[in-house]
Amino acid sequence: MRVLTPTAAACGERDAAPGASADVGARPYPEGMSDVLTGTDGVTRCAWAGADAEYQRYHDEEWGTELRGDRPLFEKMSLEGFQAGLAWITILRKRPRFREVFHGFEPSVVAQFGSDDVERLLQDAGIIRHRGKIEAVIANARLVAAMTAGELDALLWSFAPASHTPPETFAEVPAVTPASEAMSKELRRRGFRFVGPTTMYALMQSSGMVDDHVAGCWRAAT
**Among 29, 63, 75, 80, which one carries the catalytic annotation?**
80
29 catalytic per annotation: no
For residue 117, the tally of other CB atoms under 10 A from its CB is: 15
Give the alpha-carbon dihedral of 207, 211, 214, 220, to 10 degrees: 100
Q: Find out whether 197 and 214 touch, Cβ atoms under 8 Å.
A: no
Do the Cβ atoms of 76 and 199 come closer than 8 Å? no
* Catalytic residue selected from 48, 55, 63, 88: 88
**Are 116 and 45 spatial neighbours (Cβ–Cβ below 8 Å)?**
no
All residues at 6 or more sequence positions from 197 whose CB lies less than 8 Å from its CB, including other chains: 23, 176, 177, 180, 181, 183, 184
Q: State the catalytic residue, choosing from 58, 63, 75, 201.
A: 58
Please state the separation of Cα 59 from the chain's center in Å.
13
State yes or no: is 88 an active-site residue.
yes
d(CA 186, CA 177): 14
Q: For this structure, is 63 an active site residue?
A: no
Catalytic residue set: 58, 80, 88
